[in-house]
Each structure stands twice: as C-alpha cells, then as structure tokens.
Structure 1
Amino acid sequence: MMQNASDVVRSEMLDAHAAVRGILQCATCGVEYDAADHPDVCPICADERQYFPADGIQHWSDPSRSTGRIDLVELEEGLFALRGVEGVGIGQEPNVLVSAHGNVMVEVPAAITDAAIEAVRALGPMRAIIPSHPHMFGLQSAWSEALGGAAVWIARADAAWLGRVPAHLHLWDGEEQVLPGVTAAQLGGHFPGSAVVHWGGADERGVLLSGDTIAPNPDGRTLAFMRSYPNRIPLSGAVALRVAEGAARFDFERLHGNFAGAVLQDAREAVLASARRHAAWASGEHDDLTGPAGQG
C-alpha cells in the first residue's frame, strides 16, 4: 500500500498489547514477523551480516510478554532517543525528530510499551517511520498502528526482507522529502537500500541521522563503513567513498548513529575524512605499518 509521506492514516490509537496482536519477533535481532505465517529460521539472522545466538538455535519471542523498558531521552533540541533497557534484539537506539510539520521516527525499537507510546505521542503527530535498513525493522508495524497509522518507509531495494508487511507501507527509492526540511536518502553500502535522514536542525546547522549506514566510532570524531558490524566484514574503499560522498551532498554539523554514537562537530568533514582513511587502508597504502606481513 503506497501513501504520501505527509499523510497520516487516522486510525484508532492502540495500546502496546493491541498493537502487537498477530506479531512474533525473532528473539535475536528483534525483527517482527507474522505470528501465523513466519519462517522456521529468521532470514535476517541467517544472513552473513547478522548471527544466531550462541546455541545456534532459532528462538522466537512474543512481544506482548516483553518486560523491557524504553526511556525517551532528549539528545538536542528537537531530537530524542528511544533508549531501551532489557528486552530482545540488538539494542538499537531509534531517534524521534520533532518538527513544525510533524515528527519522524528513524529506526524502530524492538519493544513497545504503553509508557513509551504515550511519551512519543506527547511530542506531536508522527508522520513517518523510517528504518535505515532491515536490521532496524524492529516492531515497525506495531509502532505504526500505535501512532495512528504513520507511514512505514521501506527502501524498495530491501523490501524482500520484510517478514511482516506494515499496513501503512511506503516503498521508496533514491531520495525523497519526508517533510519540509527533512530528507531521506538511500546511500547503500551495508544493505543496498541503506539510508540516512537529513534534517536542518533546530539551529539550522544540519543533522544527519546515519543509522549504521555510516557508523560513529567510540572516539566521537571518526566513522566506520562496514557490510557487517558484528561479523567485522568491511566494505571496499570505493564503496566507502561513494557512501560518504552521497552523504556529503547535505550540509550537516552533527551526526547521530543508531547505537548511541555521535559526532557533534564538523561531522560532514569527519565522514569524508573517515572514508578516505578507510579507502587508504583497504588499498594497501599503509601496509608498511602492519609488521612483517606488510613488508613485501
């Protein structure tokens, strides 16, 4: 079902228990599936970018029985994080962007609670829910229904990974304006449809919500470009440069990732410099610094 980005389906507001009716989720990655028609094995976890638990067995979870907590934390003016405590999944930290034209959720929690629903509703009407890539699908159908039928934006290139098709689905390609001052762009890399969301910011200096299409490093100054973060599979230098240059089409001073990392100043230049560093190492330019194996 296609709908315009600014449209909100005026459906009845649901509580958490009603919103997850008919949903089962993978206990490892936290992604939702239809309870009545789910695969034997989560294809997202079977892919080389993800993993099964240590016992190697597929486990499923009923989200209505979740006891996890989700806290709403202000990161900066107009930008909030949904920070989970306990629960299933890989621990992503979605953002809620608040604008005069409505709100956008970037990434989706792998849990849903009545308290979190009420906190998000209190910020204003939700216009779009945008997971950057399939690992971030979480309980997107449930959140959409709980927030009045907000459109769930899925990159057409990654739509085959949907285990449950949201009722209010918006398939998209390339680059689209979500709301005035908010743009979603597919840069690829981690997944073919991996996306970022650019917002002008309350101070108009620019904010990039990068997911892990471009992932902030612990130093708060540099970024990583990977096919798989948990399994340490890098992208080529050429792809890292392509992704960085795609992001650099936008002006942004700050960048927030989806696991609490951020670059809070000169973020656009940090993205470009980090991609150049990645490409140099991947090309062998610094092999002389790696010990005997790099001496030729």
Structure 2
Amino acid sequence: MSNDTLLICKACGTQFDTSDRNVLKNCRICDDPRQFIPPTGQEFTTLAEMKGNYENMMAPDQTNHDIISLWTVPKFAIGQRAFLIKTPHGNVLWDLITYLDDESIRRISEEGGIQAIVISHPHYYTTHSLWAKIFGCPVYLAAEDKEWLCREDPQGRVFVEGNEKEVVKGVTAVKVGGHFPGSLVLHWKDRLFIADSFVTVPSALYHENRLPGTASFSFMWSIPNMIPMPPQDIVNIWKALKPYKFTTTHGAFTGLDVRDSRVKTRLLESAKIAIRAMGYKESQFIEELSE
C-alpha cells in the first residue's frame, strides 16, 4: 500500500496503516486527554491529497547555520517545526512534520541527508516510517511510548530504553518524561531542543529588567487543554537536565528560541515558580536544589 494513500489525521498529523475511511473513524492520538478533537469533528487526509496544496519551508538558525528549521505552509495539523542539525558525524533530524514531497527530499539531500531522526513524543510521530524509508536512517523513539505507534511498519525504529542515548557523536537524546512517560529533549553543543517537554512562554522572550518571579517555561501534561504536570515530574525534568550545559533552547514553534547565558538558571527558576504555585512553598526542591 502506498504511503501517499494512507490516512492522516488533520488535527495532529499522525499517519495510520489504512486508506479505508470506513475502517478509521477516530484518531487515538487526538482521543487522548492530552489532545483534542476539533469542534468540526474528526477528519482525515492523505499525502496524495496534500500535494500541491502545501509546501515545506527551510531556514537556517540566525546564530548557527548548521541548524535548519523545517515547517509546512499553510499550517497543517499542530503546526510544529522540525530541525535539521548538521554535524561532522552525520545530520540529525529533531522531530517531524507530516508533509514530505520531492522538493523537500531534494533540498534535505543537498544538505547531506539525514543519518538519524529523533522524535520527542507521540504527537510528532506523524509520517516517521516514510521519512526513515526515504532517507535510509533509524528513528529514535522512547521505549515508554511504544503504545502510541499507529503504524505497524517498523521501518528503522530504535527504542531508547535508558535515560539518554547518543544518536551520533555529540548529539544526545535525553529522557525527561512528564508530558509523556518517555518525553525526550535533544542536546547538542550549547543547544537544547525541547519540543513540548517544557514549553517556552511569552515572558521568556524579553530578557532585560526581568522582575523576580517571571517564568520562562511552563510544564504541561496537556498543552492545549492546559493541564499542568505534577510537581514530581517537574523535579524529574530538572534532575535529568542538571548535568548538561546549554545557553539556548529551541521550542516546538517558530519564534520560540531563548538565547541567554542564564537560560539553564531560568529553567530552574521556572520549575520553582510552577511548584510554588501548586502550594509547595517549603519543598526541599525549592530550598535546596541549585546549580
């Protein structure tokens, strides 16, 4: 069966193992309380139907041209971006967008192709079997989140079992949990690619004269439904990332890049703000944990 005819959820971009609309009535990703069904109801499309109506854009990061953002216009499904990270040891694609066409394949190939794909969590699994097949590379997914796979095709899947996995030299997937049990972030040099594992908030983007108690990140079990993570999950995110150095975070959407030598400290501050807001004003985490 052609990948072009397999059904894709219009709300989240997940591709399924059937072309039969009589068989597939619901998207199990969107039925989960972390996601939602649009008010208009569940709808599906295919790559064949998308072709000619969408295109993928690519743009280098403003401070490092070895990082290239990819996103689809007009916006499709969740609307996240992916990142092509070019390293001397191979190119890594962080997260995925659903749409893939010949022009995107050509442009990515001109950049050296893809040697590894790492996906942060099930909302961005999208068409990963197709990407892996086209570029002949493994796809790294958290073992804890296997149950959310919507295609039986095992093309290139590698399940991250431990707390971290170096996918190519110098590029490490770090398991932080929280949003999903296996939620991942990606560390490379002084960069942290965070997806939805923790969320860049508007007050993160202006750095000057920040008042005490100003958050840079939020910690959400469900982002669209605004359900926060339990305090222990927030603590676990900090514990997982404390050993790593980073001065930039790249969020899931265009414009959500925080560039600040204090960004790691701001992550810790944001974690403490969130936990205090839940009523834990005297917790050991707030009193004792520091850089």
Give the TM bin, normalised by the shorter chain. 0.7 to 0.9
Q: Any idea what SS the aligned residue of 1:29 has?
A: coil
2:95 is the counterpart of 1:107: yes
> 1 CA distance for matches of 2:155 and 2:5?
13
Alpha-carbon distance between aligned partners in 1 of 2:2 and 2:140, rounded to the nearest angstrom = 18
**C-alpha distance in 1 between matches for 2:204 and 2:137:** 33
Q: Which residue of 1 aligns with 2:148?
A: 161
Provide the C-alpha distance between the structure 1 equivalents of 2:120 and 2:270, rounded to a whole number of angstroms: 20
Match of residue 231, structure 1, among 213, 225, 233? 225
2:123 paired with 1:140: no
**Of residues 176, 179, 189 in structure 1, which corresponds to 2:168?**
179
2 CA distance for matches of 1:186 and 1:284? 25
State whether structure 2 residue 269 is matched by structure 1 residue 282.
Answer: no
1:169, 1:284 → 2: CA distance? Answer: 40
| Cα separation, 1, equivalents of 2:24 and 2:118 | 24
Runs of 4+ aligned structure 1 residues displaced above 4 Å come to 36-39
Deviation digits for residues 150-180 of structure 1 (CA, Å, limit 9, x no counterpart):
1111111001101013411111122111111
Distance 2:251 2:38 in 1: 24
Deviation at 1:36, TM superposition (A): 4.9
Equivalent of residue 89 in structure 1, options 62, 70, 77 = 77
Give, in angstroms, the shift of residue 100 of structure 1: 0.4
Q: Take 1:218 and 1:142, find their aligned partners in 2: how far apart are those partners?
A: 34
Report if the CA contact (8 A) 1:19-1:142 is conserved. no
**Contact 1:69 1:87 survives alignment (8 Å):** no
Q: Over residues 80-112 of structure 1, what are the superposed CA-to-partner deviations in whole Å (9 max), with x where a residue is unaligned?
A: 110221253110111111100111111100211
The offset of 1:237, in angstroms, is 2.3
Q: What is the CA-CA distance between 1:130 and the residue it aligns to? A: 1.1
> 3-state SS of the aligned residue for 1:92?
coil
Structure number with greater CO (CA < 8 Å, separation at least 6) is 1
Q: Structure 2 length as normaliser, TM-score?
A: 0.85
Residue 283 and residue 95 in structure 1: after superposition, are their counterparts in 2 closer, same or farther (change >3 A)? same
Structure 2 equivalent of residue 70 of structure 1: 56
Report deviation, 1:31.
Answer: 0.7
For residues 19 and 180 of structure 1, the distance between their equivalents in structure 2, rounded to whole angstroms, comes to 34
User: Paired residues, what number?
Assistant: 262
Q: Percent of aligned positions with the same letter in both sequences?
A: 29
Unaligned runs of 5+ in 1: 1-17, 201-205, 287-296
The answer to whether the Cα contact below 8 Å between 1:28 and 1:90 also exists between their aligned partners in 2 is yes
Q: What 5-or-longer segments of structure 2 have no aligned partner? A: 206-215, 283-291
The equivalent residue for 1:196 is 185
Query: 2: CA distance between counterparts of 1:248 and 1:123?
Result: 33
Task: With the length of structure 1 as denominator, give the TM-score of the two structures.
Answer: 0.83
Q: Which amino acid aligns with 1:256?
A: H
2:17 corresponds to which of 34, 41, 55: 34
